[in-house]
Structures are given as structure tokens and as C-alpha cells.
Structure 1
């Protein structure tokens, strides 16, 4: 017996043992799911393939088609689907109705065009390969749908869900979720024979409208007073239960009316986006959302039949390549035509190039209604499953291509850069500084290395040049040699110090004003003898503290006196730290002494504090205090 056969026999024995004892140990299946996730997700994140692929791979391995450790994915699919429901609810909480209204053109325009063009192209290709027109249309429109459950977390993980491209991509996903209902009705219309066809009639339409009305009324007029009442109980568990009741209730009402559960949760989230309990709801739902969404991905992985993929590997490979290529091309083209930049269009195409989870539902309904053959549906399901698994890779490649294009943005022409002041870094800080200078008619040359920032500034009429201030050739081209003053406004400490060193070495005549990240950075700048520096949050914190004092009854004269004293103490402390070290000048800080509680026995015997013991206990000082950030 070969080693491979022996290993296979061992695996079969283990699998059979698990199946035999599953009924005796009801926690065995949850243990298998958790163990698979804990092993696979960190491994795939280390490989930079993302947690979604890790969940999928875990599902494939433990599913019925490989090891068989979990032989009934359908038993947990309804529970796993709640992950998508909770995800849509949280996304809805982030979208106020007014903001959603501003997205209406992308939803009804961009979204409809994408579904129609991708569906038409893929349906035509399906018909070319032998499908009848009914099956071709259903398969084309099903493959045109993308996965909210995959795309939204990918953009959210990168912090780009609220970016311009993220908003446009999400608009398409919303339209696709809405399109599921008419597509299922289309399956019923295409079904052969009158008995099989049940197109949505007046009663069904009224039921759908009634379901939407129930969710709107409950979320708008019932849940806020209920949350207010429950908050008085000071019971966190009850608030969490109420949050889950709201989400699951909205999803169930929508499902009973024939609509998408995710759509119901999303609608409830939008209606509560302006609620004072929004952040509490998001915090309560988040843990359940993460776990159940992972379970959903694992369940999808279990449905991928590797034997079907192997037997039809050529068709599956061609299908995956065709779907990804067609959708990426069409979405990119439509995005460009409707106003997106090259980089944003690439990202939108990359994140939506896969098939969607609703395709599984659509193809299953098509088989049941005899619109599509089971073998064809199995191949299409495998295509969707593999495309889902490839989503992080395709999106990563598209994002990298977009970033590479941005990085290759041509150097700006500095021929007309003759400002008396050179501003390096045109973010929030640099923009305000420039406003002060321009208000007095002073010529300013601004440079930044963030291409997106430059494009945004140019939309408002600012002339900002592309260039890295940490490069000597860029500083020379930007006119640092003729500048009276150079304002270093970048927000990265390391880059700031590199720029300062270059300027002091090669352009010593220019006055050097620098934005400091924190106290330690300020001390480094003092050691470099810059002409002026300010910690980026110090001024606003002083103003904020003064406003708090004034709100508590202090007069403006008292606030001004406190502010002057605070600035004096800070200046003296900086001087002491510069001369004696970062822990010097602690006596200049206002601190609240720690007093023991009355009638409380001390936990250890007191001891005198000397310089030696202070040094010995220095390790107990919090890093931010020891580093002098305060």
C-alpha cells in the first residue's frame, strides 16, 4: 500500500468516526467549524490572500466533497445567511437617507446599465455554447450579479467603503440586491407549463409593499422609544437582544413577503442611521456580524464540489475567466463613461468582477422550474464559487494596477513655481496655512506626493504640484532656493525630519516652519534649531480646553489667564526636557494626586521614594508618559 493510499484510509476512518459520534456530541460540529476557521484564516492572512479566502478554503476542506467532516452544509446555511443580513444592517446604519438620495443616480443609472450590459453579454456567450435562450438569459443575469458579502467587507477592510469608488461600487450592489426579486419572477415566467409559472401578481405586490411599510413604521416610530425605554434598565444584554430583534424581525418580514432578508435589514439600518442609538446598535451587532459572515463564507466553500470542478475543469476555467473578464471590462467602461477616474474604475471593476451569492438561489430556482438543466447549474455554481474565491486576488491586482498608475503620475512642471513661500504637504493642515498666506496676497508654491489629494485640491481651484519633498531635486525644482519661508506640513514624522535635514543642509537661508506630530517630534525639531514648530493638536486642544472652561462658568478673562499659564508651563517644560531629558519638568504639569479610598487597607507596605527607586520603577511608567507625549 502506498503512502498516499494509507493517508487516504486514515482520513476516511477519522471522517467516519466524526460522523458516527456527531449525534452523541452535539458540540462536535461547532468545534469543527471554529477549529477550521482558527487554523485557515490566520494562515491565509499571513499569505496575504485575505480572511475571505481563508474561510472559503476551510469550508472546502471540511465540506462533504473533501473530508466530509461537515456533511450537511444546508443545515447551517440559514444561520450563516444571517451574516450577510447583519452586514447590510451595519452598512445601512452608515448611510443616512439624505446620503442615499444623493446616490440615486448611481443606483438607478450605473447599476441598471451594469446589470443589463453584463447580463446581455454573458447570456449571448451562454447561448453560443449551447444553452437555450431562457437558460442563457437566467444564467447571464445571474452571473451579472456580484457579491455584497464579499465586496463590502473587502472595501471595509481597506477603509475604502466610503471612498468615491466605494460608494459607486456599493450603489451597484444595492441595485443588484433589488434585482433579485424580478429575476426570480422571470424564472417563473420562463418555466414551461402554466402550473409551473407563478408570476408575481397584485396580491404579491401588495404584500411586498406592506412588508416595506411595516419595517419603515417599526424602525422609524417604534424602535427609538423602545430603545430609550430599555436603556433605562442599564442592562447591556437587553439592548443587544433588542438590536438583534430589530434586525431579524425586519429580515423575516421581508422574507415572508418574498423580498430579500438582507434588503429588510438594510432598510432598517438606513431608517436608524440618524438615531441617537446608532453607535450602540453597531457595537452590539458587530461581534455577531463577524462570526456569522465567516460562517457564511465557509458554507459557500462547502458547496464547491471539487469533483465537478475536476470533471469539467476546462468549462469551469473558461467560465471563470469569461465572467471575470467580461464584468471587469464592462464595469470599467461604464464607470469611465459615467465620470470615474481610471484608478477608481479599475477598483470598481476588480471588486465586482465575481459572481454573487444570489446566483446560487437563482440557479437553484431555475433547476426546480425546469428552466435550466441540473448539470449546467452545477457548472455555473462552480464558476460562481471559484470566482468568489478569486475575488480578493482579482481585487488586489486591480488595486495594485491602479496604485501603480498613480505612482507613475508624471512629475509636475515647476517652470511657473516662483512663490515666496513653499508649502510641503497640502493636506488639512497645509490647506489652512495656505489660506492665511493667500489672504495677504503672498505667492505660495504647494507640493504634495498624494495624487488623490492633488486631484481633490485642483477641483477647488488650487494649483498643487506633484512631488516628494524628501527629494532634493524636487525641492530645487519647486523653488526652495528662492523661497523666503518653507512650511513643512506633512503628517509623517520620519518624512518631516528627512525634509528638514535636506532643507537645512542645502537651503539654509530659508526660514523653516515645521508641523510637529507630537512632543517627541517637537523636541527633535528643537534640537535641529528650526525657526518655528507647533504640535499639530496642541493649539486646537488649548482652544478646546478653554471652551470647556467657559462652558463650566469661567469668564473669558479667567480662560485667557489659564491659557497663558498653560502655554508658559509647556514652554518651560520643553526647555527642561531639551536640557535634562524627556522626564524633566513633570512638576510643571497639573496632575490629580491619587488618594486611597477611606477605610481601605493598603495592599502592600509603603516605602520611601528616592531617586534610585524612581529609576527602578521607571518600567512601570506608561509608554506614552515615559516618551513625553503629554
Structure 2
């Protein structure tokens, strides 16, 4: 039975993975946490369903390779250029400061400098999967805290490659001289550069030939061959599988087949990644956790506090307000999934083992578990706190205007609104939280200033007391609610328009006295509704009336699940009634030169041509002898079904040419 042990272990892991994914989906928590806990429970220190992780670790290594490959595949130079300031400044500062502070603290405790630096690397990384999941669930991906969190996370994901290159140097058995360190670094980066150049030349050509075979199975196997082959090449050069996979991802990201590659590889990645995270959980010694509870609690709290303070300071340094700095700080305070990748690689060089490894695993798992709680608590606490001190605004004094529109947020919606207001002569002022946006548009003459709209002082600076309308064009639900409540307190008569993403947020915002809530989800559905009715030739005034009814009732009809009488009950009556439609005659249509009698729409489809618009002149009640010319506009009348048949017939004539 020993030879079937590996199959048994896989069956156990997959049997555990399915309910874990379902349960954590229901709890709105990232499944990574569930996989780690599952590994602890079924592992050799838990229920002992899996006594050894030797077989699993081999498959988990494939999971790491595919994880690094997808990071490379999602690497976008254009995206990094757009967020270059946050990416370079905030990312470098956060990772650098964390490594320095943690290395210093461990050095004081007697840990050797290479090991202390390695521990700093492990703690400096945060969980991209967990943080992005929470940001998406809270609809804060486009909010300021979302943008800066994503920038820092991308930097962390990419910095792991140089970190892994550094591992052989940090784990060297003998102390290296400066020249030896420089030589090893040059060799490592040189090897990566050579592989990158060779891969850039050969991989696209190989991929094209594989795709040209037009056999899906060959394409999938070929992609796996390119990924694992590049990973194996870097491993033979003394680097690691992960670096090779990352290089393969970068190269394939530039190909025309990148979307198909993602579709083919994603299922493999998800399956193998679950094995990876469960295999990490298998290594956690529960008896170690029970033996040193106070020390481990201190370590977990220490990591959260140190990372939160460092990230808080970095976010303030890049000129975001304290509220955003606090949310970002606690949001990125956990240890990330790539720290596990780094820890496993570091273990091969003797940089972490034994009690340190168990302490690292414990701290990682519990900081991940604490993240959703910390972020929710931060929102609750911050909603009741007003930060004191002078706001760093790009404005001096209050804005002396009245009966104006206050635009909160200067993204696409805010810019479009400002453009219309400017053209119509309606005064407005913009409050924006991105300092770069403020400086750029202030130079262009926009009436814009920097500030956190959740503060009473900022709303006062926008002269909210004498404003007529406030428009929230931001993707930050919590900030919107706080600011909306303040705005209504300072000016009960102000008309508040709120943009939101989901219909589920309408009722909540109405409780905060929003006068109009515009959900993107429903506006999209109304556009679809509009286009469908136009296709069925429903008169424009009827369409506009239906749209107006739906908006006037705050979209209640579209939100109801039960069948009730609704504003569209008389659509069938409208369809049975007559209407007028216009058909344009192309010069290639075979009806050009034919008389109305020859076409004979009345006999064929029961539609009458009541007028012809030709060269700006209207021929009313045209006789059957009139011949049609190119560019004529035929005014058709009949019921909806008949007009549809007439247009179909006339279009068929055009298509036959």
C-alpha cells in the first residue's frame, strides 16, 4: 500500500479543499487562510491524516512555479508607469524600512546579520490575495487606500525576485568579502539577463509554431513545457525554479496569446496553489504553539504594530491623509503568501529552521486571520475620530463662491461633470485626495484643492454651507457615508448625488439622506433596456418615460424579485399600435431605380411609405410611379411587426447586392 500513499494524500487534500473553499467563500474570507488552517488540522501535528509532507511538497513546488509565472504574466510596464510614484517611492520605502527595522531588532536579540536581514525580508511582504479580496468586497479598489495598497503590493510581488537572488549570498557558509558579494550579485543578475534575452528571442517563435498547429492539447502542454523548462534552466544555473517561471511569465505576457495562456494555466495554478498552502500548514507544530503562547502572541502583535507604523509613515510621506494611512497600514500588516515561497527557498540555504520556522508559520497564519478584523475595526474607529491638525491642502483659505456644485473625486465621472458645468457656466469646486491630480489640474486652471472629504474643515473650505449640490464621484463607500452625514449636518438643504457601484448600497446611502443614488450596475442595465426597446421601435418618448419611472422609484422595479405589476405592463399594447420609422436607401441597394409600385410594401408586409425625403425636400403621399434614388429616406408607417418585416425586406435587398 506504500506506493499508493501519495494518491491517498492527494485524495485527503482535495476532499478538504472543496469544503474549505465553499465555507470561506460564504464567510467572505480568502481561501488561503482556510488552506493553511486545513493543513494544520490534517497534518502530522493535528489529526495525523497526512503523516509526511514529502510527496505533497513536490507538487507544492509546481504550485510555486505557477504562482510566480502568473505574477510575471500579469506584469505590466504600462501599469507601473501610471503608478510610478506610489510604486517606486512607497513600495521601496515600505520594504526597505521594514527590512532595516526588523533586522535591527533581531540583531539586538543576538541573531546574525544575514539571518536578521532574511527575517526582515519575510516580514516585509504582505498578502496580495487577501488584501485584494477585501478591497474588492468593500468596493475600495479604486479608493485612495486601494490604489496605494495595490501599488505597494505590486512592488512587493516584484521585489521577491531580487530577494531570491540574494539568498545564496545571505546563506553562504563562510563570510564573504565585498568583492565576492559583488561578483555573486553580478553573476546572478547577469544570468537572469542572459536568460531573459534568450527567452525573449526563442519563446515567442516556439509559441507561434505551437499555436499554429491549432491543437488545444498541444498548446496547453507546450505552455507548461516552456514554463517548467525555463524554471529548470534557472535552477541549473544555481538560481531557483521561481525566477525562471517569473521570466517565462514576463516574456509570454508580451505575446498575442497571453489571454489564452491565462485561461489554460489558471485551473492548474489554483489546484497546485491549494496544495502549496496546505503543505505549509502541514509544517506547523501545534505543540510548539501551545508551548510558547505568550511569546507567539507578542511576536504576532509586534509584527502587526511594526508594519502598521512603517506603512502609516510611508503613506503620510507620499502626502495622503492620516485616515488613509491608518487603513492602509492595518490592511498591509500581515505576512504574505510570497513569504512562504521565500521561507522555503531560504530553508535550503539554512537561513531558517526549527523554532524560527514554526514561529514564522504561526505569525503568518494569525496575521492573515486578523487582517479582515483589523480593517473592519479601523473603518469603525475612524468613522468616530476627527484628526486634528492642519490639513496639507493645495489651497489657501476658504473658497468664496456660493450656489455652486461640490465635486468629490476627480476621476472620469468627476472630469466629465466638471467639463459640462464649465460649459454651462455653473460654478463648481473639486475636492480630490490624490496630490498629483490636484497639482496637475490646478496648473490647468481647475478650481481644485487637496483634502480628505470626511473632515468638517475640508467641507467648510469648499464653502459647503452655501453650496447647492454635492456630487460624490468616488469609489469609497465608507468615506462617502461619513462625508454625506457631515455635509447634511453643515447644510441640510444641499442636494446630494452619490455614485455607487452596486444596487445593494442604495438603501444604506438613502439612510444617510442621499437625495439621488446612481448605481453603475443599474445604469448599465438601463442602457441595455434602452437599446432593446429601440430595436423594437418603441417610441423614444415611451422609452424615456419608462427610464424616468424606474429612476424615480430608485430602481425599485429592477430590484424586486417577486412578480408584481410594473411600469412595463402596457408594452404589448404599444407593440400592437402603429409607429413611424425611417429607412435609409444606400446607393448599392437594388431598390434604387425601382418604383414604389414595384416594391409594393403595402401588399407584401402591410406597410405604407407615407413620405420620401430627397435632397432636403419632402415628397408627401408619393405615388406608385415614383422611382427611388440613392440616399433617399423612406418614411414607413405600420404596426411594429409590419415595420420590422418591411425593414428586414429592404435590408435583404441591400445585402443581395
- CA shift digits 1:507-565 (9 cap, x unpaired): xxxxx9989964898xxxxxxxxxxxxx45789x79xxxxxxxxxxxxxxxxxxxx998
1:115–1:301 Cα change, 3 Å:
same
Match of 2:569 among 573, 580, 605: 580
In structure 2, the partner of 1:35 is 15
Supply the distance in 2 between the matched residues of 1:414 and 1:387 (Cα, whole angstroms). 48
In structure 2, the partner of 1:433 is 417
1:312–1:274 Cα change, 3 Å:
same
Quote the offset at 1:57 in angstroms.
1.2
In structure 2, the partner of 1:166 is 150
Quote the offset at 1:495 in angstroms.
6.8
Task: Report 1:147-162 matches (<5 A).
Answer: 151-157=127-133, 158-159=135-136, 160=141
Task: Report 1:195-210 matches (<5 A).
Answer: 202=183, 205-206=186-187, 209-210=190-191
In structure 1, the partner of 2:120 is 144
CA contact (8 A) 1:517 1:536 kept: no
Quote the offset at 1:278 in angstroms.
1.6
Task: Report 1:418-429 matches (<5 A).
Answer: 418-419=402-403, 428-429=412-413
In structure 2, the partner of 1:290 is 270
Supply the distance in 2 between the matched residues of 1:202 and 1:471 (Cα, whole angstroms). 59
Quote the offset at 1:128 in angstroms.
4.2
- CA shift digits 1:423-465 (9 cap, x unpaired): 7997644542331121232224779xxx869996797454676
1:165–1:537 Cα change, 3 Å:
farther
- The RMSD of aligned alpha carbons is 4.9
In the alignment, is residue 241 of structure 1 matched against residue 246 of structure 2? no
Quote the offset at 1:56 in angstroms.
0.8
Supply the distance in 2 between the matched residues of 1:256 and 1:437 (Cα, whole angstroms). 63
In structure 2, the partner of 1:262 is 242
1:341–1:118 Cα change, 3 Å:
same
Supply the distance in 2 between the matched residues of 1:114 and 1:473 (Cα, whole angstroms). 33
Supply the distance in 1 between the matched residues of 2:191 and 2:84 (Cα, whole angstroms). 23
In structure 1, the partner of 2:357 is 381
CA contact (8 A) 1:305 1:382 kept: yes
1:565–1:127 Cα change, 3 Å:
closer
Supply the distance in 2 between the matched residues of 1:337 and 1:422 (Cα, whole angstroms). 27
How many residue pairs match? The answer is 508
Task: Report 1:113-152 matches (<5 A).
Answer: 113-129=93-109, 131=110, 135-146=111-122, 151-152=127-128
Task: Report 1:54-93 matches (<5 A).
Answer: 54-93=34-73
CA contact (8 A) 1:110 1:335 kept: yes
1:468–1:319 Cα change, 3 Å:
closer
Supply the distance in 1 between the matched residues of 2:34 and 2:120 (Cα, whole angstroms). 25
In structure 1, the partner of 2:622 is none
Supply the distance in 2 between the matched residues of 1:310 and 1:513 (Cα, whole angstroms). 52
Supply the distance in 2 between the matched residues of 1:516 and 1:104 (Cα, whole angstroms). 29
In structure 1, the partner of 2:586 is none
Quote the offset at 1:321 in angstroms.
3.2
1:62–1:445 Cα change, 3 Å:
same
Unaligned runs of 5+ in 2: 392-396, 450-461, 463-469, 473-479, 547-565, 582-657
1:410–1:205 Cα change, 3 Å:
closer
Supply the distance in 2 between the matched residues of 1:500 and 1:120 (Cα, whole angstroms). 48
TM-score (norm 2): 0.63
Quote the offset at 1:280 in angstroms.
1.1
CA contact (8 A) 1:208 1:258 kept: no
1:221–1:567 Cα change, 3 Å:
farther
In structure 2, the partner of 1:605 is none
In the alignment, is residue 281 of structure 1 matched against residue 261 of structure 2? yes
Quote the offset at 1:148 in angstroms.
9.7
CA contact (8 A) 1:111 1:176 kept: no
TM-score (norm 1): 0.65
- CA shift digits 1:190-210 (9 cap, x unpaired): 569x9xx99668588546523
In structure 2, the partner of 1:213 is 194
SS of residue matched to 1:241 = helix
Match of 1:347 among 328, 331, 355: 328
In structure 1, the partner of 2:606 is none
- CA shift digits 1:488-522 (9 cap, x unpaired): 76665577799999999x9xxxxx9989964898x
In structure 2, the partner of 1:250 is 230
Quote the offset at 1:361 in angstroms.
3.5
- CA shift digits 1:35-86 (9 cap, x unpaired): 1222334334445553122101111122122232222213222321332332
Supply the distance in 2 between the matched residues of 1:418 and 1:58 (Cα, whole angstroms). 60
Supply the distance in 1 between the matched residues of 2:290 and 2:114 (Cα, whole angstroms). 25
CA contact (8 A) 1:328 1:353 kept: no
Quote the offset at 1:421 in angstroms.
6.0
Quote the offset at 1:32 in angstroms.
0.8
SS of residue matched to 1:179 = helix
